[in-house]
Amino acid sequence: MSIDSQTLRTTILARRDALSLVEQTEKSEKITDALLKLPEMEQASTVFAYVHFRSEVQTIPFLRKCIQQGKTVTVPVTLVREKKLRAIRITDPDTDLEPGYCGIPEPIPELCRTMDTDPASIDVVVVPGSVFDRRGGRLGYGGGYYDRFLFNDARRALRVALAYERQLVETIELQPHDQLMDRLITEKTIYSWTRE
């Protein structure tokens, strides 16, 4: 008998939310340090990464380091009507972001007008999510935004998900539109898969 996606999401997100802020910060540092050391990340020119919200693996320090390394750093803007993500370049996470869709930090409107980035140029996409499995499967938050972005816009990019080990389950029942990850980095290890 399989558990439905929404129940699984709720259960695993409660587990993630149970981490203290100190634990989140410590684990996030380990995770993003490992991300920065990936050979594909070291070679990447353009990175697309989520801006963390609530108890997600923290990404702001990672974004800063990428900018310091001279990489083009893009973050998502949610286009609700179109059910799409746009890649917008930022140069300073402290001044370039404000609360956007559902309170999630997004680039300020001025950048949305001037710093649009072609998703085909993205080398690495750093993906959030609620639940992950040991086959590269991912459950997001139910909107399908990242699945569509990965399938339609950033097809050639390496897909790297960040999560705490407590967000892993053995198997997720995937839908045909669900996109698989190439890597999953937790505070304990890096999981790698080869997409067909």
Residues 70-81 pLDDT 10s: 999 999 999 999
CATH of the domain at 181: 3.40.50.10420
Instruction: List helix spans (H) across the chain.
Output: 5-17, 21-37, 39-43, 60-68, 93-96, 109-114, 145-148
168 within some domain: yes
Residue 121's pLDDT band, with cuts at 50, 70 and 90, is very high
- Beta-ladder partners of 104: none
Residue 1's pLDDT band, with cuts at 50, 70 and 90, is very low
Compute the distance between CA of residue 131 and CA of residue 167 in angstroms, rounded to an integer: 5
13 within some domain: yes
Maximal CA-CA distance, the chain: 50
Q: What rounded mean pLDDT belongs to the chain?
A: 95
Mean pLDDT of 26-36: 98
Q: Which DSSP letter does residue 82 get?
A: T
Range of the domain at 69: 5-189
Dihedral pair phi/psi, residue 53, rounded to 5°: -140, 140
182 within some domain: yes
Question: What is the structure's pLDDT at 162?
Answer: 99
Residue 38, pLDDT > 90, answer yes
Compute the distance between CA of residue 53 and CA of residue 75 in angstroms, rounded to an integer: 13
60 within some domain: yes
Number of domains in the chain: 1
Count of all residues that appear for the chain in the document: 196
Residue 69, pLDDT > 90, answer yes
Stated pTM of the model: 0.95
> Which tokens sit at 62?
């990672």
Residue 193, pLDDT > 90, answer yes
194 within some domain: no
111 within some domain: yes
Distant-in-sequence, close-in-space partners of 192: CB < 8 Å, separation ≥ 6: 182, 183
Dihedral pair phi/psi, residue 14, rounded to 5°: -65, -40
Query: Do residues 138 and 129 touch, judged by C-beta distance below 8 A?
Result: yes
178 within some domain: yes
| Percent of the chain's residues with pLDDT above 90 | 88
- Beta-ladder partners of 192: 183
Residue 175's pLDDT band, with cuts at 50, 70 and 90, is confident
Mean pLDDT of 183-190: 98
